[in-house]
């Protein structure tokens, strides 16, 4: 991969109220299982449908580490490789079951310079057909300007 | 609050104050194969995680691990926690006490991660964990329970702190599922009170009766004005702003349509009339006479909606 393929968002390009392009993520069994194992979460409800149903769930469902990872990925997909995530605070809601689609959206809610860093606050949400799967705030440190 | 519950809550608070810590170590240092597995599973194409040459030319100065991968490094894995981890969980007694006290169900509600810096391949992480806070008993959509927040602090081998995480779970008594719950008793509805219930259910409005002769508002609805004895009346819509006038908590006899403890409020509307209503998301220990409240009309089933109140924001 060459560097030209990736572009960065700079602090001075961002305004409060800006929205990020939406991202649709198809929730497949492969996504749920592969991300659970990649996060080394072997709880049976994330890979064993029979066991998940015994515990009262209609199917396997996405683990929290993955929801957190997808929120981070959504922000850096937009911001580019120079972005540095400072914090990811999420609140969890409706589960992500296979067959659903999660639509991620975000809005810039604040920006400020703090101790030499250029910080942007984003209100992020991921919604599926059951409701809000994940919502929260991400703080990202962006490069100041393209100059 | 019953004595046993007060003792139980005090026991949990004492645990928080002791601040006993556990530690979890990692089997392996931060490494590219695990990172590659993660970014492929997440479909994360950020080159700073896997392309060393590219990463060297960025602010990161070289390969870094995805910050949200933090927890993965010290996770238990299929079988065992890595050597050097605490062999007994300092929080086990709190969780056991919650199960014994009737709060067996668990759901994670919040995860807050703060990254002091990104970690790099070759660094070996461990984290400490302790109970940071336990809420009072809360009524939630899932049932009554306690929110429990753990603080995890992540360090490198030379004890440089690189990240922290607050993880909140709800331990709760599962509420009876909706289909199993008998419906609320129907209100006694007459031609005098019909407008009130129809207004709530069909128009999503809380209506107050108004005397057409003297203009006085009245509740509960009645055919005659108690001030001027007029039989002529219409209605006005309440703004929904209110304050708490008085309250009582029902414990017995338990009616199957309600959750317990069931706090019933006498609410004074901004317009001056008072009515009885249930409360939403307010712990009974937090109730204060005069506190501002906001109307929320709750649809109970296909036939009935009732006025309820939550804390005004």
Q: What is the mean pLDDT of residues A109-113?
A: 97
* Residue A19 DSSP one-character state: B
Give me the architecture of the B22-62+79-175 domain, per CATH.
Roll (3.10)
pTM metric for this prediction: 0.69
Nearest C-alpha neighbor of B62 from the set B123, B116, B125: B123
The torsion of the CA quartet B268, B269, B274, B278, rounded to 10 degrees, works out to -80
Q: Where are the beta strands (DSSP E) in chain B?
A: 22-25, 105-115, 126-134, 138-139, 143-155, 161-174, 207-211, 217-218, 233-237, 241-250, 262-269, 274-280, 292-299, 305-311
Partnered with residue B186 across adjacent β-strands are none
Per-domain residue ranges of chain A = 13-141
Q: What's the pLDDT at B7?
A: 86
Q: What's the pLDDT at B50?
A: 97
Q: What's the pLDDT at A3?
A: 44
Beta-carbon contacts of A116 under 8 Å, excluding residues fewer than 6 positions away, are none
Q: Is A3 helix (H, G, I), strand (E, B) or coil?
A: helix
Q: What's the pLDDT at B223?
A: 93
Give me the tens of pLDDT residue by residue for chain B, a chain 313 residues long.
Answer: 677 888 888 888 888 898 889 999 999 999 999 999 999 999 999 999 999 999 999 999 999 999 999 999 999 889 888 999 998 888 888 888 898 888 988 888 999 999 999 999 999 999 999 999 999 898 887 889 999 999 999 999 999 999 999 999 999 987 765 556 778 888 888 999 999 999 999 999 999 999 999 999 999 999 999 999 999 999 999 999 999 999 999 888 888 888 888 899 999 999 999 999 999 988 888 999 999 999 999 988 888 999 999 999 7
Structural fold of domain B180-311: OB fold (Dihydrolipoamide Acetyltransferase, E2P) (2.40.50)
Is B49 within 8 Å of chain A by CB? no
**ipTM of this model?**
0.95
Is B176 within 8 Å of chain A by CB? no
| Per-residue 3-state assignment (H helix, E strand, C coil) for A80-108 | CCCCEEEEEEEEECCCCCCCCEEEEEEEE
Residue of B nearest to A39 (CA): B72
Residue range(s) of every CATH 2.40.50.840 domain in chain B:
180-311
Chain segment A91-110, per-residue pLDDT in tens: 999 999 999 999 999 999 99
**Which residues in chain A have Cβ-Cβ distances shorter than 8 Å to B37?**
37-38
Q: What's the pLDDT at A1?
A: 44
Q: What's the pLDDT at A147?
A: 54
- Site from A68, A134, A140 to mutate, B interface, most B CB atoms within 10 angstroms: A68
Residue range(s) of every CATH 3.10.129.10 domain in chain B:
22-62+79-175
In whole angstroms, give the CA distance from residue B9 to residue B85: 29
Chain segment A40-64, per-residue pLDDT in tens: 999 999 999 999 988 888 999 999 9
Beta-carbon contacts of B293 under 8 Å, excluding residues fewer than 6 positions away, are B241, B242, B243, B244, B265, B267, B279, B309, B310, B311, B312
Superfamily of domain A13-141: Hotdog Thioesterase (3.10.129.10)
């Amino acid at each position: 991969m060459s560097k030209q393929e990736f572009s960065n968002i700079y602090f001075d390009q961002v305004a409060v109220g800006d929205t990020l392009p939406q991202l649709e993520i198809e929730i497949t069994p492969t996504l749920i299982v592969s991300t659970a194992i990649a996060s080394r979460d072997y709880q049976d409800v994330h890979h064993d449908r029979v066991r998940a149903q015994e515990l009262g769930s209609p199917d396997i469902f996405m683990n929290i580490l993955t929801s957190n990872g997808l929120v981070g990925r959504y922000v850096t997909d937009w911001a580019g490789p120079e972005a540095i995530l400072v914090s990811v605070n999420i609140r969890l809601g409706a589960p992500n079951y296979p067959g659903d689609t999660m639509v991620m959206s975000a809005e810039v809610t604040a920006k400020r310079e703090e101790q030499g860093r250029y910080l942007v606050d984003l209100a992020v949400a991921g919604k599926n057909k059951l409701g809000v799967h994940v919502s929260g705030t991400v703080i990202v440190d962006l490069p100041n300007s393209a100059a | 609050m019953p004595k046993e519950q007060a003792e139980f809550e005090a026991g949990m608070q004492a645990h928080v104050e002791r601040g006993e810590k556990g530690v979890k170590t990692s089997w392996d240092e931060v490494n590219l194969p695990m990172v590659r597995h993660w970014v492929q599973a997440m479909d994360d194409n950020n080159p700073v995680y896997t392309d060393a040459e590219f990463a060297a030319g960025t602010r990161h100065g070289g390969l870094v691990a995805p910050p949200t991968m933090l927890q993965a490094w010290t996770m238990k894995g299929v079988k065992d926690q890595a050597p050097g981890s605490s062999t007994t969980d300092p929080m086990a007694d709190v969780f056991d006490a919650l199960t014994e006290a009737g709060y067996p169900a668990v759901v994670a509600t919040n995860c807050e991660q703060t990254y002091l810096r990104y970690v790099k391949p070759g660094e070996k992480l461990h984290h400490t964990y302790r109970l940071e806070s336990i809420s009072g008993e809360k009524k939630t959509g899932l049932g009554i329970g306690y929110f429990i927040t753990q603080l995890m602090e992540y360090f490198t081998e030379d004890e440089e702190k690189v990240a922290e995480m607050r993880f909140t779970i709800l331990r709760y008594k599962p509420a009876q599922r909706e289909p199993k719950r008998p419906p609320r008793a129907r209100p006694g509805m007459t031609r005098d009170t019909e407008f009130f219930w129809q207004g709530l259910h069909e128009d999503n409005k809380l209506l107050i009766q108004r005397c057409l002769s003297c203009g006085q508002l009245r509740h509960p609805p009645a055919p005659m004005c108690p001030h001027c004895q007029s039989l002529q009346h219409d209605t006005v819509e309440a703004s929904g702003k209110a304050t708490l006038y008085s309250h009582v908590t029902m414990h017995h006899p338990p009616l199957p349509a309600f959750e317990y403890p069931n706090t019933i409020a006498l609410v004074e509307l901004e317009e001056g009339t008072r009515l009885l209503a249930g409360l939403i998301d307010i712990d009974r220990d937090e109730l204060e006479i005069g506190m501002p409240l906001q109307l929320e009309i709750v649809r109970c089933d296909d036939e009935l909606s009732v006025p309820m109140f939550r804390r005004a924001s």
